[in-house]
Each structure stands twice: as structure tokens, then as C-alpha cells.
Amino acid sequence: LSQHERTAGRFPQVSGLRYVFDPKRPAGSRLTSVTVGGKPLDPAARYSVATFEFLMGGGDGYTMLQQGKVLVAPMYGPMDSDLILERLKSGPIAPAVDGRIQVAQ
């Protein structure tokens, strides 16, 4: 979100949570609401995150991910392409906007 106006990455795609951001606010202060599983984000809680090696290594400015505990190392997890191909075997994917990322009005 810190580079939202530049469309240069740093815009997290998420699952299992929803957030509202205000692009008019300064970088670092743009999130206005975050819920996980329908409940407000708990800053003291620990959450499991699935990501890919680029972000896990601190890419796109996500250096905080380097502090996490790796549960499944990239070389042992499934490849994204394999997961997508397996999913496609059950039928076409119908993309839809579900409101998990919202711009503050």
C-alpha cells in the first residue's frame, strides 16, 4: 500500500482477511480497518501466513516476513503452477470481486 499511487507492487493480495485502506493518507498510515475471519485484527496475536519466496525474503518491502518462522520451506511445498493446474481439473475458475480489499470513501 505504501506505493499504491505508483502501481509498483507493495499491494498485498490476501485471503482470509479483509482490509480497508485510504490512499490519501501518508504511506504507513493507510490501513483504516483489518479483519481476520470476520474479527478485528489482534496486534498481539500470531497469524500463519502463506506466501511465496520473493515476499518471504523481504521483497517489495515486506522485510517483516523475514522475522517469521518458516513452517514449510519453499523447496518442500507445492509449486503454485501445480496447484493451479490441479484446481483447473475440477472446472473453470470464475474470478469475482468479493470486497476483501476496499478503498475508503
What integer is the mean pLDDT of 75-83?
86
The answer to pTM > 0.85 is: no
Q: For 31-48, what is each residue's pLDDT tens digit?
A: 999 999 999 999 999 888
Tell me if 31 sits within 8 A of 1, measured CB to CB: yes
The reported pLDDT for the residue numbered 36 is 94
Q: In the chain, how many domains are there?
A: 1
Confidence band for 60, pLDDT divided at 50, 70 and 90? confident
Question: Which domain CATH number covers 57?
Answer: 3.90.780.10
Q: 75 with 59: CB under 8 angstroms?
A: no
Q: What is the pLDDT of residue 101?
A: 84
The enclosing H or E element of 40 equals strand 39-40
In-domain check, residue 59: yes
Query: Would 33 be classed as within a structural domain?
Result: yes
Task: Report the half-sphere exposure of 21 (CA within 13 A, side-chain side).
Answer: 18
pLDDT at 79: 85
- pLDDT score recorded for residue 97: 85
